Amino acid sequence: MPDPIRLTLNRESAAPQRGTHRIFIGMAAGVGKTYRALGSLREHLEVGENALIGVLETHGRQETMQAADGLPMFPRREIQHGNVTLSELDVDGLIQRRPFIVLIDELAHTNAPGSPNEKRWQDVEALRDAGIHVLSTMNVQHLESLNDTVARLTGVRVRERVPDHVLHDADELVLIDLPPEDLRARLRAGKIYSADKIEQSLGNFFTVPNLTALREIALRHVAQAVEMDMPDGQPAAHEVIVVAIAAEDTAARLIRRGGQLAERLHGELYVITVRAERLSPEQSRLLDTYREITQALGGQFQTLERQGGIGDMLVGYARQVHATQIVMGETSRSRWAEFWRGDIIKFVLRHTQGVDVHVISRD
């Protein structure tokens, strides 16, 4: 297994008493993230530091279990859910125990109902707030802003996601890189999944094109995260990205595209929607979801009450926040409605100067 690429981020502004966070990140399951994290934990133990495994997901992999052999493991918290007893990370117990450093596997994991936090990355934040240092692991496809890109490239929609700010707030990223053919060889050798899942995995998610795309995404995204923290890496001009959405299923793609722009340009992200009429329960639910996605991407979400034309309101808002980029989706109106009421996209293009307008396909 090749050596990991270790990238230390500049976090001078972080409060000194807060625990640090080192994330082992890779392109897919089986590259060796947990194996490397366990090795790092063992190094802390060997120099006399109080180090523990907080939660470990071995998935029956022999290499992982061997790497964990002899390492102290903190007991999990049992949660009764119906007739089933589930076990999760015991955050409160760890805070009381106060180890120097703890390993938290699978950052994107969703906790069982009844847990103090919904997501495991929130558990990590609680530990760091208590002054405990954390080692964690995740795959790049679980990043919120990459959800649409990964789905388009691989055909797989990842449901468990981690907000981008978790990655950006980390003190160190350790990229575990492995060539696609090497990973496929590990899969064939039974080192990742059981024998009955190998052929299906090789033909579906673990194809060479999929793994090649994911590997490039991992390399580029981690490099961008480090670039953002370089003292001389500040942009020449401040970028402000405004994403205009409606309460429709396709809006999440627009928000994530805007989030990618904001990250790449080191800019601010604003997501707005104009409420022209009473929303249905389904539309209200969608907007609540889009607010959460926006906040996960570090942006601000705002609902504007309609006063005049939607195009006028969008242009006015863009001027108010000094937008440099506007992201919109293809119109959902019929051509007849466009004829009588006008095309919002054309209106925005006519009435904005010095602003890049991105029109995203509805496909």
Contacts with 287 (C-beta within 8 Å, 6 or more apart), sequence order? 247, 273, 279, 303
Question: What dotted CATH number matches 240-360?
Answer: 3.40.50.620
Task: Tell me what the mean pLDDT of segment 223-252 comes to.
Answer: 72
pLDDT band at 264 (very low <50, low <70, confident <90, very high): confident
Sheet holding 240-245, edge to edge: 300-305, 268-275, 240-245, 325-329, 356-360
Of all residues in the chain, what percent carry a pLDDT higher than 70?
87
What pLDDT score does 182 carry? 92
Nearest to 23 by CA among 141, 162, 158, 134: 134
Strands (E), 121-212: 133-139, 172-176
What pLDDT score does 172 carry? 87
Contacts with 138 (C-beta within 8 Å, 6 or more apart), sequence order? 23, 24, 25, 33, 106, 107, 108, 162
Question: What dotted CATH number matches 5-228?
Answer: 3.40.50.300
pLDDT band at 229 (very low <50, low <70, confident <90, very high): low
Contacts with 70 (C-beta within 8 Å, 6 or more apart), sequence order? none
Residue 234 scores a pLDDT above 80: no
Residue 213 scores a pLDDT above 70: yes
Most confidently modeled of 95-99, 306-310, 325-329, 357-361? 95-99
The mean pLDDT of the chain is 86
| CA 234 to chain CA mean position, Å | 23
Residue 356 scores a pLDDT above 70: yes
Map out the domains of the chain as residue ranges.
Answer: 5-228, 240-360
Residue 129 scores a pLDDT above 90: yes
What pLDDT score does 340 carry? 40
Domains 5-228 and 240-360 share a fold: yes
Query: In this predicted structure, which of 21-30, 141-150, 227-236 has the lowest mean pLDDT?
Result: 227-236
